[in-house]
C-alpha cells in the first residue's frame, strides 16, 4: 500500500520564476516526513510537485526526477488524475465544496469516476473518516447541512476526512493544523500516528514542536537570499535534526535564532 | 511625550465627500432605471389597455383580443424556446471551452469572434435567415419530417421555403448565443481556484472538476445568462419578422410553413399601415409581452433562490 518517494535534482518553476532549486530527498514508505522553513521558501510548492498538483497552475512546471516506488511520476505515460487519486492532499486553507453537504463532501472523492456505492457502505465511510478526523461528534447530527456552515477548524478537519475517505497511499498535508485549536491539533497528530502504519505522510508545518512530535524525517528549506530560489538546506532524521543538526542554519532556525 | 499642536493632521472622517458623491450617483442611477421601467409600463398600460376592447375588425382574422394575443404569445414562446434549446448548450460549451479547456492562444480569438456576433445588427441576421439559412435548412426539414415525424414538433409537412419556426429559432439562437456565452464565461473564470484545486487533488478529471467546483458556483450566473438570452429572444423583432410567414394558429409543428408570428415581429410588420385602433391593439400585445417577460424572470429567480435556500438549510 504505502509508497516511498525519491526526489532527485528537482527544480520547480512558476513560468520563468525558479521557486525551488536542486532538491534531493527520500520520503520513506510508512513514515512521516516534515518540511519546515520560513514563509515563501517553497514548502507548499515542493509538496504540490509530489502529486502533480503544481502543474495545474498555468505555466508551472518542474525539471528533475520524482520516483514513486521506482516509477517516474512525471513520465509522459503517467496520468496525473490517477496520481492524485493515490496521493491525496490537504491544503493550507480549508476548501470544502461550498454547495455540498458535510456528508457529500466526505464522499466527494469516492464518488468520482462514477464509482457506485451502497448506502450502508457510504454511511460507513463517512462515519469512519469523520471519526478519524475527530469531527464525528460535532457533526453527526447535521450531516445534511452544508460544509461551509462549519467553523474554519471544523472545515479543515472535514477536508482531512475527505482526503482520507479515499484511502490514498500517500497523504500530503500543507499546514493542516494552522487553523486548529490544541485539542483538534492533537487529534490530527494522533491521526497521523495512526495512518503512518499504512500510509506515507508528508506534512508541512511552521510548528517546530509538531514537526518534532509527529515526524520521522525532517527537511529544512530556506532561501539563500530574498529573490533567490528556495532550496533544501538539510534533510535528516527528525531526532538528529532537533538535537544535533549538521547545518548551522538548521540549528539557528529550529532554536528560533533566525533572521 | 510631545505636546499636541494645531498642525497635527485630523484623521479623515469615515464618510468623506467622495463617498457621499459616489453614493448619490449610484443611488441616482438605480432610481433612474427603475423610473424608466415604470414609465414604460405606464405608457404601455395607458395606450394599450384600450386596445383590449376594440371592434372585431381590428383583430382580423380573429374576433377579439385574447385569442389574437394568445396565438402571438404562443408563437413568441415557441420560437424563444427553440432558440434557447439550441443556444444554451452551445453557449455553455463555448464558455467552458474558453474558460477551462482551450489553450490561451485559442481562447482569446474564440471569445472575440463570439463577442463580434453580438455586434451584427438583427436586420442582417433576418436577411441571412430568410435568404440563406432558410433554403439551406429545407433538407433538414424534410429529414426531420421523415425520421422524427412522430414527434408533434416535426409533424410536417416539411416546408419547402424554410420559412418556419425552426429557421426563426435557429436565427434567434445565433443572436442570443453571444450574451449567454459572455456571461457564462465571466462566471466560469471566477470559480474559486481553491475549490477547483480541491476537486483536482481528489483525482477529478477536468470535467469532474467542472461539475464539482465550477457549475455549482456558476449556477445563478448561468440562470441570469439564460434569462437575458430568453429576454432577447422574446423581444426580437426584425429577424423573426423577416424569416416567418405568419398565420394565426396554435401549433407545436416547427417545420411546416403554417406558424404563428411572435408578438414583437407582429408589431414590426403591422405597425406601418396600422389604423389608430390597430395601433392600440399592437401596444396592448406589447404590454402582454412586457408582463410575460417580467413574470418569467421572477419565476426563474424564485426557482434559483429556492434551490439555494434548500442547500443552506
Ligand atoms: N501561483 C504562483 N505563481 C507564482 N509564484 C508563486 C505561486 N505560488 C507561490 N509562488 C512563489 O513561489 C515561492 C514559494 O512559495 P510557497 O507557497 O511554496 O512558499 P511556502 O514555503 O509554502 O510559504 P508559506 O510558509 O508562507 O506557506 C514564493 O516566492 C512564492 O511567491
Ligand atoms: Mg505554504
| Superfamily of the domain at B30-312 | MetI-like (1.10.3720.10)
Q: Is A14 in the pocket of ligand 1 (CB under 6 A)?
A: yes
Identify the pLDDT of residue B246.
77
Q: Which residues of B touch A83 (CB under 8 A)?
A: 203
How far apart are alpha carbons A221 and A236 in whole angstroms?
A: 12
Q: Which residues of A touch B104 (CB under 8 A)?
A: 58
Q: Is A57 in the pocket of ligand 1 (CB under 6 A)?
A: yes
A259 pLDDT more than 50: no
How far apart are alpha carbons A144 and B284 in whole angstroms?
A: 49
The pTM (predicted TM-score) of the whole model is 0.82
Q: Is A205 in the pocket of ligand 1 (CB under 6 A)?
A: no
A25 pLDDT more than 70: yes
Q: In whole numbers, what is the pLDDT of chain A averaged over residues?
A: 91
DSSP string, A199-218: -EEEEE-S-HHHHHHH-SEE
B68 pLDDT more than 80: yes
pLDDT tier for residue A158 given thresholds of 50, 70 and 90: very high
B interface test, pick of A102, A105, A108 with most B CB neighbours within 10 Å: A108
Residue of the CA atom closest to atom 29 of ligand 1: A40
Q: Where are the beta strands (DSSP E) in A104-258?
A: 170-174, 200-204, 217-223, 230-237
Q: Mean per-residue pLDDT for B111-136?
A: 89
Is B203 in contact with A84 (Cβ distance < 8 A)?
yes
Mutate to test the pocket of ligand 1, among A11, A20, A42, A56 (most ligand atoms within 8 A of CB): A42
What are A238-253's pLDDT values in tens digits? 999 999 999 999 999 9
Identify the pLDDT of residue B4.
46
Q: Which residue did the predictor score with more confidence, B305 or B124?
A: B124
Residue of the CA atom closest to atom 24 of ligand 1: A39
A191 pLDDT more than 90: no
Q: Is A54 in the pocket of ligand 1 (CB under 6 A)?
A: no
Asked if B194 is an interface residue toward chain A (Cβ–Cβ < 8 A), one would say yes
pLDDT tier for residue B274 given thresholds of 50, 70 and 90: confident
Q: Phi/psi of residue A89, each to 5°? A: -150, 140
Q: Is A238 in the pocket of ligand 1 (CB under 6 A)?
A: no
Averaging pLDDT over each range in B4-8, B25-29, B103-107, B252-256, which range is the top one?
B25-29
Q: Mean per-residue pLDDT for A225-239?
A: 91
How far apart are alpha carbons A146 and B152 in whole angstroms?
A: 43
Helices A152-165 & A119-132 angle (0-180, nearest 10): 130
The three-class DSSP label of residue B4 is coil
A105 within 8 A of A145, measured Cβ to Cβ: no
Residue of the CA atom closest to atom 14 of ligand 1: A42
Q: Mean per-residue pLDDT for B252-276?
A: 84
B interface test, pick of A56, A107, A171 with most B CB neighbours within 10 Å: A56
- Among A18-22, A226-230, B94-98, B159-163, the range scoring the smallest mean pLDDT is B159-163
Q: Which residue did the predictor score with more confidence, A13 or B12?
A: A13
How far B309 CA lies from chain A's nearest CA (Å)? 11
Q: Which residue shows C-alpha cell 415557441?
A: B78
Q: Which residues of B touch A114 (CB under 8 A)?
A: none
Q: In whole numbers, what is the pLDDT of chain B averaged over residues?
A: 86
Q: Which residue did the predictor score with more confidence, B310 or B234?
A: B234
Q: Which residue shows C-alpha cell 493632521?
A: B9
How far A46 CA lies from chain B's nearest CA (Å)? 15
Q: Mean per-residue pLDDT for A30-37?
A: 95
Domain segments of chain A as ranges: 5-99+169-254
Q: Is A43 in the pocket of ligand 1 (CB under 6 A)?
A: yes
How far apart are alpha carbons B111 and A220 in whole angstroms?
A: 46
Mutate to test the pocket of ligand 1, among A17, A39, A45 (most ligand atoms within 8 A of CB): A45
B313 pLDDT more than 70: no
Provide CATH code, domain A5-99+169-254.
Answer: 3.40.50.300
pLDDT tier for residue B176 given thresholds of 50, 70 and 90: very high
Q: Mean per-residue pLDDT for B70-89?
A: 93
A107 pLDDT more than 70: yes
Domain segments of chain B as ranges: 30-312
Q: Mean per-residue pLDDT for B260-269?
A: 87
A84 within 8 A of A52, measured Cβ to Cβ: yes
Q: What percent of chain A has pLDDT over 70?
A: 97
Q: Which residues of A touch B107 (CB under 8 A)?
A: none
What are A41-85's pLDDT values in tens digits? 999 999 999 999 999 998 999 999 999 988 999 999 999 999 999
How far B312 CA lies from chain A's nearest CA (Å)? 6
- Whole-complex ipTM: 0.91
Q: Mean per-residue pLDDT for A206-219?
A: 93
Residues, Cβ < 5 Å to ion ligand 2: A 44
Q: What stretch of H or E contains B130?
A: none
Helices (H), chain B: 17-48, 65-96, 104-117, 122-128, 134-147, 165-189, 193-201, 206-209, 215-235, 238-243, 263-270, 276-312
What are B2-55's pLDDT values in tens digits? 444 455 555 655 668 888 899 999 999 999 999 999 999 999 999 888 888 888
Instruction: Give the residue among B291, B243, B294, B233 at the shortest CA–CA distance from B264.
Output: B233
Identify the pLDDT of residue A56.
92
Listing from the earlier edge strand, what are the strands of the sheet with A230-237?
A71-72, A60-68, A5-14, A17-27, A230-237, A217-223, A32-36, A200-204, A170-174, A87-90
Neighbours of A233 (CB within 10 A): 21
Mutate to test the pocket of ligand 1, among A19, A92, A220 (most ligand atoms within 8 A of CB): A19
Q: Is A136 in the pocket of ligand 1 (CB under 6 A)?
A: no
Identify the pLDDT of residue A164.
92
Q: Is A21 in the pocket of ligand 1 (CB under 6 A)?
A: no
A interface test, pick of B201, B220, B310 with most A CB neighbours within 10 Å: B201
DSSP string, B64-104: SHHHHHHHHHHHHHHHHHHHHHHHHHHHHHHHHIIIIIS-H
Is A108 in contact with B312 (Cβ distance < 8 A)?
no
What are B147-165's pLDDT values in tens digits? 888 888 888 787 888 888 8
CB burial string A71-81: b at 16+ within 10 A, e below: eebbeeeeebb
Q: Mean per-residue pLDDT for B63-80?
A: 89
Amino acid at each position: 500500500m504505502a509508497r516511498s518517494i525519491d526526489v532527485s535534482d528537482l527544480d520547480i518553476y512558476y513560468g520563468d520564476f525558479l521557486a525551488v532549486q536542486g532538491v534531493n530527498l527520500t520520503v520513506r514508505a510508512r513514515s512521516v516526513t516534515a518540511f519546515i522553513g520560513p514563509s515563501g521558501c517553497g514548502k507548499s510548492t515542493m509538496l504540490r510537485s509530489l502529486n502533480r498538483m503544481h502543474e495545474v497552475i498555468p505555466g508551472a512546471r518542474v525539471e528533475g526526477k520524482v520516483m514513486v516506488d521506482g516509477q517516474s511520476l512525471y513520465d509522459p505515460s503517467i496520468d496525473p488524475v490517477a496520481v492524485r487519486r493515490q496521493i491525496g492532499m490537504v491544503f493550507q486553507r480549508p476548501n470544502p465544496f461550498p454547495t455540498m453537504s458535510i456528508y457529500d463532501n466526505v464522499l466527494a472523492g469516492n464518488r468520482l469516476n462514477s464509482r457506485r456505492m451502497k448506502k450502508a457502505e457510504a454511511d460507513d465511510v463517512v462515519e469512519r473518516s469523520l471519526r478519524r478526523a475527530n469531527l464525528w461528534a460535532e457533526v453527526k447530527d447535521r450531516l445534511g447541512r452544508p460544509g461551509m456552515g462549519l467553523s474554519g477548524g471544523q472545515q479543515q478537519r472535514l477536508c482531512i476526512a475527505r482526503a482520507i475517505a479515499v484511502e490514498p497511499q500517500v497523504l500530503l498535508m500543507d499546514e493542516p493544523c494552522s487553523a486548529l485549536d490544541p485539542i483538534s491539533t492533537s487529534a490530527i497528530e494522533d491521526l497521523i500516528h495512526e495512518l503512518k502504519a499504512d500510509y506515507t505522510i508528508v506534512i508541512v508545518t511552521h510548528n517546530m514542536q509538531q514537526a518534532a512530535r509527529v515526524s520521522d524525517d525532517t527537511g529544512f528549506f530556506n532561501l539563500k537570499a530574498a529573490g533567490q530560489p528556495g532550496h533544501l538546506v538539510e534533510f535528516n532524521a527528525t531526532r538528529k535534526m532537533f538535537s544535533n543538526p549538521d547545518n548551522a542554519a538548521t540549528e539557528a532556525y529550529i532554536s528560533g535564532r533566525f533572521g | 511625550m510631545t505636546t499636541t499642536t494645531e498642525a497635527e493632521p485630523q484623521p479623515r472622517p469615515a464618510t468623506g465627500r467622495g463617498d457621499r458623491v459616489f453614493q448619490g450617483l449610484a443611488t441616482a442611477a438605480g432610481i433612474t432605471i427603475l423610473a424608466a421601467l415604470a414609465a414604460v409600463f405606464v405608457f404601455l398600460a395607458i395606450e394599450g389597455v384600450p386596445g383590449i376592447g376594440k371592434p372585431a375588425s381590428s383583430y382580423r382574422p380573429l374576433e377579439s383580443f385574447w385569442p389574437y394575443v394568445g396565438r402571438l404569445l404562443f408563437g413568441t414562446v415557441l420560437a424563444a424556446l427553440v432558440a434557447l434549446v439550441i443556444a444554451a448548450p452551445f453557449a455553455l460549451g463555448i464558455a467552458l471551452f474558453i474558460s477551462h479547456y482551450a489553450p490561451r492562444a485559442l481562447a482569446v480569438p474564440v471569445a472575440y469572434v463570439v463577442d463580434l456576433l453580438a455586434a451584427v445588427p438583427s436586420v442582417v441576421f433576418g436577411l441571412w435567415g430568410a435568404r440563406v439559412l432558410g433554403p439551406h435548412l429545407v433538407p433538414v426539414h424534410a429529414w426531420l419530417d421523415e425520421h422524427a415525424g412522430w414527434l408533434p414538433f416535426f409533424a410536417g409537412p416539411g416546408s419547402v421555403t424554410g420559412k418556419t419556426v425552426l429557421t426563426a429559432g435557429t436565427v434567434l439562437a445565433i443572436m442570443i448565443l453571444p450574451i449567454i456565452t459572455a456571461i457564462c464565461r465571466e462566471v466560469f473564470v471566477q470559480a474559486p481556484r481553491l475549490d477547483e484545486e480541491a476537486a483536482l487533488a481528489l483525482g477529478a478529471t477536468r470535467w469532474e472538476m467542472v461539475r464539482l467546483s465550477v457549475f455549482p458556483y456558476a449556477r445563478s450566473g448561468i440562470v441570469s445568462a439564460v434569462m437575458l438570452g430568453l429576454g432577447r429572444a422574446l423581444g426580437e423583432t426584425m429577424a423573426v419578422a423577416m424569416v416567418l410567414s405568419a398565420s394565426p394558429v396554435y401549433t407545436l409543428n416547427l417545420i411546416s410553413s403554417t406558424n404563428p408570428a411572435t408578438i414583437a415581429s407582429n408589431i414590426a410588420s403591422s405597425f406601418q399601415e396600422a389604423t389608430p385602433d390597430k395601433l392600440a391593439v399592437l401596444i396592448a400585445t406589447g404590454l402582454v409581452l412586457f408582463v410575460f417577460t417580467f413574470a418569467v424572470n421572477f419565476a426563474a429567480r424564485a426557482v434559483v433562490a429556492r434551490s439555494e435556500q434548500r442547500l443552506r438549510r
